[in-house]
Structure 1
Amino acid sequence: MMITIDIPIWAARLRAQRRAHLWSRRELGKQMADASDESTRDRLPGQEDLAGMVRSWEAGERRPDELHAELLCRAFCTDETDLFVGDAAGTTLWHHLTGIPLMTESFSAEEEERTGRAIEDPRRADDQTAAYFATILRTYALMDHHPADLADALSPVFDTIEGLHRDVGSGIRQALLLLSSQDADLVSRMHYEAGNLSEALAWSDRALTAAHRAGDEHLVAYALAHRAGLRDTRDNPGEVIDLAVAARERVAPPAPLDAMARRHEAQGHAMAGAEDMCHRRLEESAESPETPDDDLPYLVDYPAGLPNALAAGCLIELHHPADAIEILERDLRGAPAGYTTAYTMARLAHAYADAYERERSAAIAREAFDLSRRTGATRALQELNLIQDDLHRRVHPH
């Protein structure tokens, strides 16, 4: 029985392309406006009206006219035949049904067709199927888009891999479980950056479960180390320490993972006020080389700047703001305007507040607030709220 959908293929392809770029309908409208020239810009409606038009196009209610079709092709860097005609109806169909991002620039038509057949019949899944999903994870792991948008893009990938590995042969099952764990870990991290701790913890549970099922102790340790970092500064330090110790003692971890686990343990000791233990773990972490282990079948990847951010966080917890300021200011030099930079700026504002440099703290907090709003860095906004709470307690101690 042939599967059908209730919208035209071109409408499904348009929606899949937008989702792959992590654009909202309003953002696609902005991209179209940016792609216009002087002769066409004045003919475009306002942003809200254009977003509404995108919604109607994706629903198949009407087809874009010549002007808007051209601007859509410019925004997506494609031509009208590929976007509106195309002969890859099956590819569009399975992307529409699964929600997996359609990354036309990363895969050939043959790779798309092969993956679609594997999703339709998991017995066809093979190493190339796993390689397809691994490419998606690597691509999105390097993007600095809004964390919530990244989580939304990668969640369907997890669901699809989970559906596949139950019915595939043993040879490919472990590879899919490893990818499932890595995907869940990345989704967890994005939810955390988006300020949603409960979802971050739920996805961390999925990452741990998949790692256990894969029987990969290194990946279990990686998931435990990541879990240790899913804690607010006001949370239970003992749990942070226990998770970090479990990560590095469960199995001899690769050097970068061992270093990160020790930094998370240092974070827990700092939260508990154990300064000596905190400094000891930070010193131990500095002795581990930060080079990837080529023997691992997956990438143990942490965001750039996280080691210094954790060290600075420990110093803030231990009331050494001057040292934290030195680290954070150095990290901000030349940093890209993404969600991780927004959080670094928020931590710097916190450090300046603890150093009683309120004007400097306020100035950086305003910059951090603006960047946080633009990049979807809700965790950075939560950090800024902590500064306000701390200042209020100092002025009104009772």
Structure 2
Amino acid sequence: MASDERPAWAERLRNERRKRWWSQNDMASELEKAADKRIRATLPARSSIIRRIRDYEAGTHQPRDPYRLLYCRVFAIDEAELYGDGPVQNGRTPNDVLRDLLRETEPLSPIPNRAGSRLGIGNVKDLSARVHSLRLADDVLAGGDLIQPAFRELDSAVRIYRTSTYTQDVGRRLLTTIGEFAQIAGWIASDAGQHEQAARTYRLGISAAHEAGDGTLESNLIGSLAYQISNVGDVHEGIALARAALDAAGPDAPARARALAWDRLAWAHARAGEAQSAMRALGEAETALSQYAAEEEPGYLYWVDAGELQVMEARAYTELRRPLRAVPLLTDVLARYDSTHTRELALYLSWLAVALADANEPEEAARTAARMFDLSADVASDRTAQRKHVVRARLEPYRDVPEVRQLLDASGF
């Protein structure tokens, strides 16, 4: 059922869930938590509740009690407003998006009367060094290999913040470090295919960065969540988040931070098929990066350079089915890419394989895909696994080509 055919109440139920960045499984959990003991005993299994949610949001069935009541409790919206026929308000400003994100995250707070060790700037620097080591490890290892150590580090940083004593300045720096841990841990969880865990972690980091007053870090975290949602969720939610990330960075953020925010907005628009908006954002990213002049900036921006922007431009062209522009860009990047970064190399090869298939070059696409499959065989990354499926599907129409057929048969597709 198209959006304009869906009843207003169904659109509202879906929008209210998405505003909170909840999956339908999250929504089912929230409905269960909103039920008192008597109602909870009557609820079916989680899978059945999820099916009901799907039907409600499609507009095929309107909720009846107890679900009608539970929805009102969860969203804190009056029944007449939630289920009425009035117009649905979809437009949200970046401030609205950020407010929704922060509202759904329990703020970090130290334990009252804590008696932990006294921390100083040196302790914060040690933690910052550990988070940067984790980033460097992510350059050469995949999410499945790093997810456990990443979350041990994040949990340790949160525990230190909550149980130790420190000055206000040290506390603010600790919050920034927690936000940085949350960004890389969320990225690692996303790469491991743990998208709900990643989203929760990004929200924790956003809360920490916001409390620390670090707009640049807040932008990076919101942008990371935008990137994930653009890839595995609703692309229009991804655009809203990417705009919020750009707003959080602001005009005075470091050049590479602004370039990264524009880059993620470009990708969100490309995923939505909005070519002109994507190209405009890519141009803004290039302009922002051109203003970089060895300024003081956070360490996590070390990887944002002209090569990364070129990769994003090529990916956007591939997503928009413009292979004649994508192929030269990807070929140039891959000719000088660090081969120790196996996951990224495999991902970039996957985009090139798709672009070559779109350019009606199936033999070359098959050769590129074969290299991608070989590289990613032992990489514990959900992203590379998903890209394999995309590449195989794009090659399938060329199965009559011997090189393609041999590759597809060998890969069990």
TM tier relative to shorter chain = 0.5 to 0.7
1:126 equivalenced with 2:124 (yes/no) = no
Give 3-state SS (helix, strand or coil) of 1:142's partner: helix
Which deviates the most, 385-394 or 161-170?
A: 385-394
Give 3-state SS (helix, strand or coil) of 1:124's partner: coil
Equivalent residue for 1:352?
356
Give 3-state SS (helix, strand or coil) of 1:278's partner: helix
Taking a change above 3 Å as real, the CA distance of residues 228 and 292 of structure 1, as seen in their structure-2 partners, is farther
Taking a change above 3 Å as real, the CA distance of residues 186 and 233 of structure 1, as seen in their structure-2 partners, is closer
Taking a change above 3 Å as real, the CA distance of residues 121 and 374 of structure 1, as seen in their structure-2 partners, is farther
Q: Aligned-pair distance for 1:292?
A: 7.5
Percent identity between the two aligned chains? 24
Kindly report which structure 2 residues correspond to 1:276-295, keeping only aligned pairs within 5 A, or say none.
276-289=276-289, 291=292, 294-295=295-296
Kindly report which structure 2 residues correspond to 1:240-389, keeping only aligned pairs within 5 A, or say none.
240-250=238-248, 251-252=250-251, 253-289=253-289, 291=292, 294-296=295-297, 299-302=300-303, 305-335=307-337, 336-337=339-340, 338-389=342-393
Q: Aligned-pair distance for 1:360?
A: 1.6
Q: Aligned-pair distance for 1:357?
A: 1.7
2:206, 2:303 → 1: CA distance? Answer: 17
Kindly report which structure 2 residues correspond to 1:164-243, keeping only aligned pairs within 5 A, or say none.
164-166=160-162, 167-169=164-166, 170-231=168-229, 233=231, 235-243=233-241
Conserved 8 A contact 2:235-2:271: yes
Taking a change above 3 Å as real, the CA distance of residues 345 and 148 of structure 1, as seen in their structure-2 partners, is same
Residue 382 of structure 1 aligns to which amino acid in structure 2?
Q
Residue 369 of structure 2 aligns to which amino acid in structure 1?
A
Taking a change above 3 Å as real, the CA distance of residues 344 and 297 of structure 1, as seen in their structure-2 partners, is closer
1:126, 1:326 → 2: CA distance? Answer: 51
Taking a change above 3 Å as real, the CA distance of residues 222 and 178 of structure 1, as seen in their structure-2 partners, is same
Q: Aligned-pair distance for 1:368?
A: 0.9
Residue 267 of structure 1 aligns to which amino acid in structure 2?
W
Conserved 8 A contact 2:187-2:198: yes
Task: Give deviations 1:58-107, integer Å, cap 9, x for gaps.
Answer: xxxxxxxxxxxxxxxxxxxxxxxxxxxxxxxxxxxxxxxxxxxxxxxxxx
Q: Aligned-pair distance for 1:130?
A: 0.9
Residue 317 of structure 1 aligns to which amino acid in structure 2?
E
Give 3-state SS (helix, strand or coil) of 1:123's partner: coil
Q: Aligned-pair distance for 1:241?
A: 1.7
Greater relative contact order structure (CA < 8 Å, 6+ sep) = 2
Task: Give deviations 1:163-186, integer Å, cap 9, x for gaps.
Answer: 111232223111111111111101
Taking a change above 3 Å as real, the CA distance of residues 294 and 123 of structure 1, as seen in their structure-2 partners, is farther
1:293, 1:150 → 2: CA distance? Answer: 31
Aligned alpha-carbon RMSD (Å): 2.5
Conserved 8 A contact 2:209-2:215: yes
Residue 283 of structure 2 aligns to which amino acid in structure 1?
E
Taking a change above 3 Å as real, the CA distance of residues 127 and 201 of structure 1, as seen in their structure-2 partners, is same
Conserved 8 A contact 1:292-1:300: no
Give 3-state SS (helix, strand or coil) of 2:229's partner: coil
Taking a change above 3 Å as real, the CA distance of residues 232 and 297 of structure 1, as seen in their structure-2 partners, is closer
Conserved 8 A contact 1:195-1:377: yes
Gaps of 5+ in 1: 1-119
Taking a change above 3 Å as real, the CA distance of residues 256 and 196 of structure 1, as seen in their structure-2 partners, is same
Q: How many residues align?
A: 276
1:302, 1:228 → 2: CA distance? Answer: 19
Conserved 8 A contact 1:343-1:377: no
1:176, 1:384 → 2: CA distance? Answer: 40
Residue 230 of structure 1 aligns to which amino acid in structure 2?
Q
1:213, 1:190 → 2: CA distance? Answer: 23
